[in-house]
Amino acid sequence: MAKETKQATASNTIGRQELSRRIAKQVNISQKQAGEVLEATLDSIREALQNGDEVRLVGFGSFKVRRSAARKGVNPRDRKPIEVPAKDRVRFAPGKELSEAVLKK
């Protein structure tokens, strides 16, 4: 029988505050310090991506910016064709360890 996947809902979504609390508990620092570390980490990832760098966290995954090509689309409201412009998108590719950890759940 296939494993059932749990849908994300507001009750099982972890935000910055909860993540900071878990980090603080795991490394035995204050929640405020953990929040500052989390913000610094996110800022560093954001800055690297803005500079065109790839962020690779071995065992977790990689973040990179990819350019999506311009394409033709359809406006769902009136079904008229539209041009969707090219744009940069952030992509995340999970690492092997993260993928395996989620599958073993």
Model confidence, pTM: 0.75
- Count of domains in the chain? 2
Residue 25 sits in the same domain as residue 61: no
Q: State which of 6-10, 94-98, 101-105 shows the largest mean pLDDT.
A: 94-98
State the Cα–Cα distance between residues 100 and 25, nearest whole angstrom. Answer: 25
Residue 39 sits in the same domain as residue 63: no
Residue 58 sits in the same domain as residue 105: yes
What is the token pair recorded at 78? 């009136």
Mean pLDDT of the 72-82 span:
94
Write the DSSP string, the chain.
-PPPPPPP-GGG---HHHHHHHHHHHHT--HHHHHHHHHHHHHHHHHHHHTT--EEETTTEEEEEEEEPPEEEE-TTT--EEEEPPEEEEEEEE-HHHHHHHHT-
Boundaries of domain holding 60 = 54-105
Q: What is the pLDDT of residue 81?
A: 94
Domain presence at residue 7 = no
Q: Per-residue pLDDT tens for 5-63?
A: 555 566 789 999 999 999 999 999 999 999 999 999 999 999 999 999 999 999 999 99
Q: What is the pLDDT of residue 1?
A: 42
